[in-house]
A = this chain, B = another copy of it.
Amino acid sequence: MTGIRQLADYLDISIGTVSRALNGKADVNAETRRRVLEAAEKLGYVPNQSGRSLRKGSTGVVGFMMQTGPEINSQGDAFFMSVFDGVQTVLSRHKLDLVALLCSSNEDPYAYLQRTVARGFADAIILSATRRNDARFELLHRHNIPFISLGRSLTDVGQPWIDLDFEGMAEIAIERLVKAGHRDIGIIWPHGDLNLGYVFADRCREVLAEHGLTLREDHIFRAKPSEAGGYAVAHEIASRSPRPSAIVLVNEILVTGLYKGFEDAGVKPGKDIAIIGRYSPQAQYLSPALTCFTLSLRDLGISLAEHLLSVIPDYQSHYVGQTPRVIWPMTLIEGTSG
């Protein structure tokens, strides 16, 4: 087992310096800290757990709160598995573990989090499924539990957040469709009261307005976040009069159903109706391949963890200079659907 002494021998620096670097003291220069952390990872350094657990309230665990249920989170779950992988990459540098705090869809997320906090389960928390107004932020803030939210909210207690660039997605998608001659563009509203729906729809409206176009209220469609929901909404869109000539959607877990629904309704995707959506593992294997927005979920996870650690006293000196709020860009993959 590699301890501090072995690390110091390997790097040929003093045990004191290694210790200060590992513990994030400010008097170690950045290059030395980087070398120590790299060596610690390479050699499989194991901190003295008994010493560590003496720190008051330290569990060594970071919780990622997410919702389960028959109607799963609008971001899908392949999404989360990849994000988790990135989060763990960072946490493992510090011998911290990640657990997923699974809030059932039957339970109020606030009550669930309250119980989790009372149990002293995790040192820090990552919140997902951010609501337009989100009382969980205030709860964690009151209890002095470091956290980061994946997603913005109107609620703001000064915590870091990272959100996907739904505004940028709206801009690029609408501009692309307008340029291709579309004048009547509809959107599928994301599930429920998630904040991203408002952000996305507002920006679509603004960009359309710049071209003298409007987002008709009856061209904002609602779908359940499932393939069955996609199938159903396709029929609804196909029968709407007037019918939009293009659709933009942010939910990636209903596209196979959407395609099939359009086909069964005699509306050919990519030909009779343009579609722009979000990347999913299926996107490029659909016919026509989906024009969609993508991002590295693993990198997003890494960034979430680094931003979270930047607000935890024990670790923050490793992660100085983090921008507290990040709009995470997405990249367009050109398919043939729109």
The interface size of chain A toward B, counting residues with CB under 8 Å, comes to 54
Which residues of chain B are near A259, meaning CB under 8 Å? 285
The answer for the CA separation of A226 and B82 in the assembled complex, in Å, is 13
Q: How many monomers of this protein are in the complex?
A: 2
**Interface flag for A23 (CB, 8 Å):** no
* A78-90 interface bits toward B, Cβ cutoff 8 Å, 1 = contact, 0 = none: 1011101100110
Q: Which of A244-289 contact B (CB under 8 A)?
A: 253, 256-257, 259-260, 263, 281-282, 284-287
**Interface flag for A102 (CB, 8 Å):** yes
**Interface flag for A92 (CB, 8 Å):** yes
Q: Which of A50-72 contact B (CB under 8 A)?
A: 59-61, 63, 68-70, 72
> Residue A77 contacts which of B77, B107, B115, B227 (CB distance < 8 angstroms)?
B77
Which residues of chain B are near A63, meaning CB under 8 Å? 99
The answer for the CA separation of A282 and B105 in the assembled complex, in Å, is 23
In the complex, residue of chain B having the shortest beta-carbon distance to the beta carbon of A88: B104
The listed residue with most B CB atoms (<10 A of its CB), out of A69, A77, A118, is A77
Contact A81 B98 (CB under 8 A): no
The answer for the CA separation of A310 and B27 in the assembled complex, in Å, is 55
> Residue A227 contacts which of B106, B107, B227, B282 (CB distance < 8 angstroms)?
B282
> Residue A85 contacts which of B88, B105, B230 (CB distance < 8 angstroms)?
B105
Contact B226 A281 (CB under 8 A): yes
**Interface flag for A166 (CB, 8 Å):** no
Contact A72 B68 (CB under 8 A): no
CB distance from A55 to the nearest CB of B (A): 14
The answer for the CA separation of A69 and B231 in the assembled complex, in Å, is 31
**Interface flag for A97 (CB, 8 Å):** yes
Which residues of chain B are near A81, meaning CB under 8 Å? 68-69, 72-73, 77
**Interface flag for A100 (CB, 8 Å):** yes
Contact B281 A253 (CB under 8 A): yes
Q: Which of A211-229 contact B (CB under 8 A)?
A: 226-228
In the complex, residue of chain B having the shortest beta-carbon distance to the beta carbon of A82: B70
CB distance from A171 to the nearest CB of B (A): 29
> Residue A286 contacts which of B76, B85, B256 (CB distance < 8 angstroms)?
B256
> Residue A102 contacts which of B69, B99, B115, B284 (CB distance < 8 angstroms)?
B99
CB distance from A1 to the nearest CB of B (A): 12
**Interface flag for A33 (CB, 8 Å):** no
**Interface flag for A119 (CB, 8 Å):** yes
Chain A contacts to B: CB under 8 angstroms: 49, 59-61, 63, 68-70, 72-73, 76-78, 80-82, 84-85, 88-89, 92, 97-102, 104-107, 115-116, 118-119, 121, 226-228, 230-231, 253, 256-257, 259-260, 263, 281-282, 284-287, 298
Not counting A72-B82, A227-B285, a sample of 7 additional A-B residue pairs whose C-beta atoms are within 8 angstroms of each other reads: A49-B118, A63-B99, A70-B82, A100-B100, A253-B281, A257-B282, A282-B282
